Structure 1
Amino acid sequence: MTTYAPDARSRRRHNPAETAAAPPTAAPTHEEAPERKRAGEQIALGLFILIPFLALLAAIPWAWGWGLGWHDIVIAVVMYAISGHGVTVGFHRYFTHGSFKAPTWLRVVMAVAGSLAIEGPVIRWVADHRKHHAFSDREGDPHSPWRYGETVPALIKGLWWAHMGWLFDVEQTPRTKYAPDLMKDAAIRRVSSSFPGLVVVSLLLPALVGGLWSMSWWGAVTAFFWGSLVRVALLHHVTWSINSICHALGERPFKSRDKSGNVWWLAVLSMGESWHNLHHADPTCARHGVDRGQVDSSARIIWAFEKLGWARDVRWPRPARLAAKRVAA
């Protein structure tokens, strides 16, 4: 496998092939954000990563005391399931890869639900992930753990980069190049531009529900801690683990041109995303956990959508296609 050279980052930004493929522009567009705006985004991003992570660290000792009730557990689990499946079913399998077709109302619902995960606006998320697949574990991949090489020190540095370091990179994936379909979609553009407001909703809704459910301010506080801060931190790190851990570890029963692997112990929390080897072998497949015992709740939701008549043309795995992609024993 070819590893990144030390100056790969600068070369990647001036890749002639990418420049030639990008649509010509006569003047700067809304995609070229000023440096001050980008710096502000990085500060805000840092706060959204740091504060929930600190809450996650404090969660265990607090749970041993008086700061966790069954109301909090229910609210946190429901919010995790809604926002998490909004990312896995909506942002990833639907918007990025087109694993099924859906009516406009469901598309908007999935975009809103995924935005509640606070992983960025839907169009930016999709553009980044499509670029990841275009250059997976090669120069140009936004978040490959093999970026710095294959030695142990290089991999440790690369795992940090793939997990969360890449989020602070000043480079922006051009949305007009990697998500032109969504840029032309008025409904999805509105959801994407409403991301700041949806962040507020995601953080305050658990507190509102917790306060009304318990009819107390303390119920609102504990619901905010567990249903907002801890839930966001856990979901973030599970999602980032797909970028880092699942491209460094795991079994590889299917042929792919990268180092994507299946990591079974992340399957439940990642809602089926950690069956990552099959996903990279067959990106448009609606089910990632295709073998016996591989839990994939995202695929079950798509199955339910299909049964309800909300989804059509679902790209379910076909035995012949799987057999062709499976590594020979």
Structure 2
Amino acid sequence: MSTDQGTALRPGEHGPRRDDDPYDGAAPFHRPDDAPGTRTAGQRVRLALTGAIVVAPLAALAAGVWLAWGRAITIIDVLLGLTLYVVTGLGVTAGFHRLITHRSFTARRWLKIVLAVAGSMSFQGSVIDWVAIHRRHHAFTDRPGDPHSPYRYGTGLRGELRGLAHAHLGWMFGNDPTSTRRYAPDLQADRTMMHVGRAFPALCALSLTLPFVAGWALTGSWHAGVTAFLWAGLIRVALLQHITWSINSLCHMIGTRPHPTRRHDRSTDLWPLALPSFGESWHNGHHSDPSCARHGRRPGQIDLTAGLIRLFERLGWATDVHWPDRGRRHETPPSPS
């Protein structure tokens, strides 16, 4: 199934749907051409950069543990790391995801840019690519066409274990590109978002430079700058990456499914990840109504991103917020082809 063919999807669309869908929900649906094969020079460079983005934070985590052995991490490292985790994490959840991908609310122009920049500093890809991939995920959730379904290799134990690794990390190294022309034409027509997308490498560099400069400036010690670079820079990136990737993997395999979704969609609500993911792990609630600004649909389901959007609304920075309609009965839509 080529993602470069067909008409462009408008934001909020789930893709083509057919009632005579041949997929049975259990068979593997990976394709032979998904595997790495002959790549162009540009694709090899992109793959190398992806590897660096994945491996470097993990290496920093190992280095940070070694440096911290027998001594405490400084309060500056903790505060800087927490601050940047929150800023970049909410840039992804409120900006990349709920605002730009699903249009759960309308934001002031300056706020949309700020959120897009903050999300870009999370090392999760440019805003254009991130949005396109996520819209494709919703168009073909857990069925042929989904770029990171854990059921790609079938529903047997071996297939699910292989699929879990694919959904969490492996999909980024496959040969299954997502067409931004098809899935994000609105962003390609937005000159500012295109500039933010092109600035992704520079914003990643800024994301790592800020903690070093802050640590050095606050203490006057280059050693404090280096430890801040490790803990509030690379290690913070690693933690946020794996929390986000867990939504792709764990939140389609483990948890509860209290809300109806389309056929074959196995999204779940996974409460242990609710706080570190800022409410994104109420994933079944999200898939039941993708354009809703609140993913935690039940009482007691903490959704910090929804709280931030509520604050934006009260400040007059956000309008047309799609809050849950308590009186509306959610129906399971037909599956896409």
Report the TM-score, using the length of structure 2 for normalisation.
0.87
| Equivalent residue for 2:78, pick from 73, 98, 122 | 73
Deviation at 1:61, TM superposition (A): 5.2
In structure 2, what is the equivalent of residue 86 of structure 1?
91
SS of 1:287's partner is: coil
More helix by share: 1
Query: For the Cα contact (< 8 Å) 2:34–2:175, is it kept in 1?
Result: no
Deviation at 1:2, TM superposition (A): 2.1
Given that residues 117 and 235 in structure 1 are in contact (C-alpha distance below 8 angstroms), is that contact kept between their aligned partners in structure 2? yes
State the match for 2:243 in structure 1: 238
Q: Is the 8 A contact 1:4 1:138 kept in 2?
A: no
Distance in 1 (alpha carbons) for counterparts of 2:63 and 2:226: 14
Which residue of the partner structure matches residue 46 of structure 1?
51
Q: Distance in 1 between matches of 2:42 and 2:330?
A: 48
1:317 to 291, 302, 324: 324
What corresponds to 2:146 in structure 1? 141
Partners of 2:133 and 2:178 within 8 A in 1: yes
Distance 1:4 1:110, change over 3 A: farther
Q: Does 1:209 align with 2:214?
A: yes
- Structure 2 CA distance for aligned equivalents of residues 139 and 118 of structure 1: 27
Contact 1:12 1:139 in 2 (8 A): no
Shift of 1:119: 0.4
**SS of the residue 1:294 aligns to:** coil
Give the distance between the partners of 2:297 and 2:251, measured in 1 at CA. Answer: 17
Aligned residues: 304
Residue 58 of structure 1 and its aligned partner are, at CA, apart by 4.5
SS at match of 2:93: helix
Which residue of structure 2 lines up, in the alignment, with residue 275 of structure 1?
282
Q: Which amino acid is the alignment partner of residue 222 of structure 1?
A: T
Residue 16 of structure 1 aligns with which residue?
none
Which of 17, 23, 31 in structure 2 is aligned with 1:9? 31
Counterparts of residues 126-205 of structure 1 (less than 5 Å): 126-205=131-210
Deviation of the 1:5 alpha carbon: 3.7
Q: Secondary structure at the match of 1:319?
A: coil
1:164-208 Cα offsets, whole Å, 9 max, x none, are 100012222110110000000011110001111111101111111
Q: 285-294 or 55-64, which moves further after superposition?
A: 55-64
For 2:315, give the aligned amino acid.
L
Q: Does structure 1 residue 110 correspond to structure 2 residue 115? A: yes
Give the drift of 1:41: 1.1
Tell me the equivalent position of 2:19.
none
Amino acid at match of 1:204: T
User: What is the CA distance between 1:126 and its match in structure 2?
Assistant: 0.2
Compute the displacement of 1:63 (Å): 3.6
Q: 1:221 to 1:35 in 2, by over 3 A?
A: same
- RMSD over aligned Cα atoms: 1.8
The answer to whether the 8 A contact 1:56-1:234 is kept is no
Q: 1:325 to 1:5 in 2, by over 3 A?
A: closer
CA displacement at 1:60 relative to structure 2: 4.3
Q: Distance in 2 between matches of 1:314 and 1:79?
A: 26
**Contact 1:3/1:150 (8 A) holds in 2:** yes
TM-score normalised to the size of structure 1? 0.89
Q: Is the 8 A contact 2:61 2:230 kept in 1?
A: no
By how many angstroms is 1:59 displaced? 4.0
- In structure 1, runs of 5+ residues without a counterpart are 14-33
Indicate which of 281, 287, 300 corresponds to 1:293: 300
Q: 282, 305, 316: which is aligned to 2:312?
A: 305
CA distance in 2, matches of 1:167, 1:288: 26
What is the percent sequence identity of the aligned residues? Answer: 46
Distance 2:216 2:72 in 1: 14
Relative distance call for 1:12 and 1:166 in structure 2 (3 A) is: closer
**1:52 to 1:61, Cα distance in 2 relative to 1, 3 A:** same
| Deviation, structure 1 residue 116 | 0.4
Structure 2 stretches of 5 or more lacking a match?
Answer: 1-23, 333-337
- What's the offset of the Cα at 1:64? 4.4
Give the SS at the match of 2:99: helix
Local SS of the residue matching 2:301: coil
The aligned amino acid for 2:96 is F
2:279 and 2:304 in contact (8 A); partners too: yes
Residue matched to 2:258: 253
Is the CA contact 1:100–1:314 (under 8 Å) kept in the aligned structure 2?
yes
Matched to 1:136, the amino acid is: T
Ranked by relative contact order (alpha carbons within 8 Å, sequence separation 6 or more), the top structure is 2
Taking the aligned partners of 2:81 and 2:157, their CA distance within structure 1 comes to 37
> 1:19-58 to 2 correspondence within 5 Å?
35-58=40-63
Question: Is residue 3–residue 147 contact of structure 1 (8 Å, CA) maintained in 2?
Answer: no
